[in-house]
Structure 1
Amino acid sequence: MAEMRPGPGPRNLITDVPGLSVGQAQDAPARTGVTVILPDDRAVCAVDVRGGAPGTRETDALAPENLVEAVDAVVLSGGSVYGLAAADGVVAWLGAQGRGYGLVPGVPPSPVVPAAILFDMANGGDKAWGEAPPYRDLGRAAASAAGPDFALGTAGAGYGAMAGTLKGGVGSASVVSADGFTVGALAAVNCWGSVTAPGGRTFWAAPYELDGEFGGLGPAGLVAGPDDWGLAKRPPQARNTTIACVATDAALTPAQAKRLAVMAQDGLARAIRPVHAPFDGDVVFALATGRRPLEAPADYVVARLGALAADALARAVARGVFAAASWSDAKVPCWRDLPA
């Protein structure tokens, strides 16, 4: 059978990976939100943490040597430590449907829902929630809204995000390889570093762009000197994080999924400068829905999938900032406002 020409999937979203849905919910007055990646069936999952200030839940359970080999959802949330409660809402929603990890007959299953958070607490939104932060309800709303299509930019976990000094947001991208594997990425971009080269509008991810998906400017403007970070944040703006999930339809073991997550982190380095700083909390999850078996040599296929995931994640970062718009009640700098 002749090989296909590799390129984006039909939606150019992580949901091009068969067996995945995404749901989002946001609280506009609080300027925050939640994104849930929901597999149709339990999926193999791994995680790689590179930022110096991560906030996570259930990541230790994902180690290949531990009991859990699959998860029921992955949650990305704003809200810093408060946002970890979004996974509680997703767990409750899944458990009510009888979904989760079960060992003992007659005992409710335990949904396994790893999560990561970003810091959007200082963006001017109303965070005076006292003892009732909105994240549990946002998590449940996002899970119940999951489907194949979802908004990019100022939505979900990226609703309150800032990418350097530009408005950040949720971005996603996909690619289908020549031999039919699908790889997708989703990122909530709230980075300290800049996603554009100094002095212009060119995304650092420009060499990986497909079909003009974030402006089609090309890589000609990719020039920067030492310590020249362009539109990065400056102190005291030092609470950040890009949290992401990559996915594939390949049937991976937990160890292979871990390698996918490790390789995908390079996508952040291709799209953000600087990245993985002491006050970033960068986290990348990797999901494998297992719809396509690996062919020998398996390690070579995993390496290819990791390279595709890194490129897709770089594209997702750029697409999130490209699509981002100001909040309805406040004006902040957006990529679309930069001079041409």
Structure 2
Amino acid sequence: MIKTGPLNLITDVDGIKIGNAEDAKVVTGVTAIIPDTAAIGAVDVRGGGPGTRETEALNPDCLVERVDGVVLSGGSVYGLEAASGTVAELARQGKGFNHKGIIVPIVPSAILFDMLNGGDKSWGEIPPYRQLGIEATRNLVKEFQLGNVGAGYGATEARYKGGLGSASLVTDNGVQVGAIAAANPVGSVLIPGTKSFWAWAFEQNGEFGDIGPPAFVEDMPLDLPAGSSLAENTTICVVATNVALTKSEARRVAVMAHDGIARAIRPVHTPFDGDSIFTLSTEKQELEEPRSIGLARIGAMAADCVARAIARGVYNAESLAGVPGFKSELFKD
């Protein structure tokens, strides 16, 4: 039996907490995903316009095994400073790799482009992201809101307001898998000409409206916004599991989890997106034997959670800065 966790959030995974911070004037935000103790980390980047920090360190042939957090941020390249804020705050708390008494938190991150959403970006020499990273890391919780929250605060999708989404799955034998996604894609989460999500088949308990599949789709256009250009969009995600994985196994979960983006958005992994997925393993439970079968199950669960998290992020986002929220348009026509 596989079912959603009690909160249906990534924090259903033992050892994971989330912090969010927003700037309403700038129309942007930051999400910090922080394990209680350093977790095995990995990443897989598929988009053609990524913006990331510390991802090379997560390669299986590199020294770093565990990370102290992952940061997702708006702000394009400016948002990479959010991870600096998280590093500073974690060091203040004494969390990180201790090298001869020097605390060095390892915090990979990825950013999305929310620079043209109507917010005031005239911040001068000091962008707000480092402070937002500090605030997000100081306010860690197990239960949090979806939609216009954290890294999803200024996000958009092809037609509607984007947002922050999350979902989880747990099994009877204690395996926990969760995902959090900041959905800001150039593609659409909806089947053309309908109000049905591409991810409808993976929905659990009406979590994004119980709209179901469309009765009929006459045409399947693939229209991209006329002004699309490199790195102006992105869906960035973190998946987590309580199962102990090696660094290579964690990367395979990230690879499989990208199928969740493909199930939720069309088109995906375009030259205009920076789609990236991180994996965290909190190592609370051993991987079942044979390991390849257990790993495949976790990867499949992760892909389903990512698809649902993306749909939930858009479904729960409210209208902002002239961009309509999905629910505000749902019953029109």
Query: How many residues of Structure 1 are paired with residues of Structure 2 in the alignment?
Result: 329
1:154 to 2:145 alignment: no
Asked whether the 8 Å contact 1:202–1:222 carries over to 2, the reply is no
Match of 1:41, as an amino acid?
A: T
Counterpart secondary structure, 2:97: coil
Q: Which stretches in structure 1 are left out of the alignment for 5+ residues?
A: none
Q: Residues 1-340 of structure 1: matches in 2 within 5 Å?
A: 5-104=1-100, 106=101, 108-221=102-215, 223=217, 225-226=219-220, 228-229=221-222, 233-238=224-229, 239-327=232-320, 330-340=321-331
How far off is 1:233 after superposition? Answer: 4.7
Counterpart secondary structure, 1:338: helix
How far off is 1:101 after superposition? Answer: 1.3
Per-residue Cα deviation, 1:289-308 (whole angstroms, up to 9, x for no partner)? 00010121011000000000
1: CA distance, partners of 2:122 / 2:63: 39
Asked whether the 8 Å contact 1:53–1:281 carries over to 2, the reply is yes
Match of 2:116, as an amino acid?
A: A
Counterpart secondary structure, 1:81: helix
2: CA distance, partners of 1:222 / 1:79: 39
Per-residue Cα deviation, 1:266-319 (whole angstroms, up to 9, x for no partner)? 000000000100010000001100001012101100000000000010000000
My pick for the range that moved more, 233-242 or 254-263, is: 233-242
How far off is 1:209 after superposition? Answer: 0.3
CA RMSD of aligned residues (A): 1.3
Runs of 4+ off more than 4 Å = none
My pick for the range that moved more, 138-147 or 234-243, is: 234-243
How far off is 1:191 after superposition? Answer: 0.3
Match of 1:155, as an amino acid?
A: V
Asked whether the 8 Å contact 2:234–2:273 carries over to 1, the reply is yes
Identity, in percent, stands at 56
1: CA distance, partners of 2:22 / 2:325: 19
Match of 1:47, as an amino acid?
A: V
Match of 1:85, as an amino acid?
A: E
How far off is 1:224 after superposition? Answer: 6.8
Per-residue Cα deviation, 1:209-234 (whole angstroms, up to 9, x for no partner)? 011110111123574745x13xx651
Per-residue Cα deviation, 1:100-156 (whole angstroms, up to 9, x for no partner)? 11232x3x1210000000000011100000101000000000000011011100010
Asked whether the 8 Å contact 2:71–2:110 carries over to 1, the reply is yes
Asked whether the 8 Å contact 1:243–1:283 carries over to 2, the reply is yes
Give the TM-score taking structure 1 as reference length: 0.94
Asked whether the 8 Å contact 1:8–1:175 carries over to 2, the reply is yes
Gap change, CA 1:259 and 1:278, over 3 Å in 2: same
Counterpart secondary structure, 1:315: helix
How far off is 1:178 after superposition? Answer: 3.6
Counterpart secondary structure, 2:3: coil
Asked whether the 8 Å contact 1:95–1:111 carries over to 2, the reply is yes
Q: Which stretches in structure 2 are left out of the alignment for 5+ residues?
A: none
Match of 2:159, as an amino acid?
A: T
1: CA distance, partners of 2:49 / 2:270: 8
Counterpart secondary structure, 1:131: coil
How far off is 1:199 after superposition? Answer: 1.2
Gap change, CA 1:299 and 1:201, over 3 Å in 2: same
How far off is 1:335 after superposition? Answer: 1.0
Asked whether the 8 Å contact 1:45–1:71 carries over to 2, the reply is yes
